[in-house]
Amino acid sequence: MSDTVAELEHNHAGRRWQPSSEVAEASVMLDLFQGLGVQSVSLTFTDDTGRKVAFKRNRSVESLRSELTSLLFTSNEKRLNVIVRPIAAGSLSLIQLDDLSASQLDRVRQFSFLVLETSPENFQAWLAVTDANLETIRRVKKAAGADLNASGATRLAGSYNFKSKYAPNYPRVRLHSIAPLHAVTVGELDRAGVIAPEEHAPGARRHAPTYRRGHRLLVWPSYARCLADAPGARNHEGKDRSAADFNFCLISIDRGWSVEATANQLMAESEKAKSTGYNYALFTAKRAASVVCSNRC
């Protein structure tokens, strides 16, 4: 942009845009991720209702950095949320602990390389953890009391949190604390009690066999196919996992599996079911059963 910094400063809906400060915070946030091996991000823009307006996949960190001034100015002018999804490199897992209170943050702050204040007194911590698997990530989120369904996409520091409930004084996403290059191991988290105990749903099995009922051989549908066929999620990048879970249950019950068996198998197949819990799986299976029953009637 050819305008000077002074010319870019403006008042809009009660907010004072200060490019030197906001661009600096955004740049520091990109530095933190890049220092841990992140070379590219996916970039999403949403409006104040959460509707996706634009999406750019695999933007290099350097190209994004070069556009920060114009990107933040435009998003501020059009009231668009700037959301980035860092793409982790190698065996390092970036764990997003979202929707933390100040007291919850205290438990994990020492393990975090980045803490954001996304709205007043509402925090988000990021941990860089070596040798973590999906189950460990879920258990860390549970131990911290964080949102289990956080997708790994976050608001860019220096941008504004455009939600209708905050209008007209939208809060700015701020860097709360940083620890460059800080990574931890699963063992460190476990010794500090920041990993919740393992859970086993009643009767759940990781790989359930087929089952013969009378002369019918019952076979589970492909969960991967259900996920691939699911529509896109409305509020984040990727597939609508709730729709995939429901479709899996619908097909399973239509094939002759019981509600309980279907709920147990959903716990083994679905990441959302694992993170949300057995009651969610059972509720989804029961909903599917009612649809199957209605269709047959």
Task: For residue 255, give both structure tokens.
Answer: 């094939």
In the chain the beta strands, taken as DSSP E runs, fall at 11-12, 15-16, 40-46, 52-60, 81-86, 92-100, 114-119, 122-130, 154-155, 174-178, 184-185, 211-213, 216-218
Q: Are 34 and 61 in contact (CB under 8 A)?
A: yes
Q: Are 176 and 123 in contact (CB under 8 A)?
A: yes
297 residues of the chain, pLDDT tens digit each:
333 233 333 333 334 445 678 999 999 999 999 999 999 999 999 999 888 899 988 899 999 999 999 999 999 999 999 999 998 877 789 999 999 999 999 999 999 999 999 999 999 999 999 988 888 888 999 999 998 878 789 999 999 999 999 989 999 999 999 999 999 999 999 999 999 887 655 544 444 445 555 445 678 999 988 988 888 877 666 788 999 999 999 999 988 999 999 999 999 999 888 888 888 999 999 999 998 887 765
* Rg over CA atoms, the chain: 22
All structural domains of the chain, each given as residue ranges with its CATH number in brackets, are 5-191 (3.30.70.1790), 211-296 (no CATH)
Q: Are 129 and 140 in contact (CB under 8 A)?
A: yes
Question: 191: Cβ–Cβ under 8 A, 6 or more apart, which residues?
Answer: none
Say how far apart CA 104 and CA 215 lie, in whole Å: 54
Tens-digit pLDDT profile for residues 33-55 = 999 999 999 999 999 988 889 99
For every residue of 227-251, which 3-state class applies, written as one string? HHHCCECCCCCCECHHHHHHHHHHH
Check residue 199 and give its pLDDT: 64
Question: Does the pTM exceed 0.85?
Answer: no
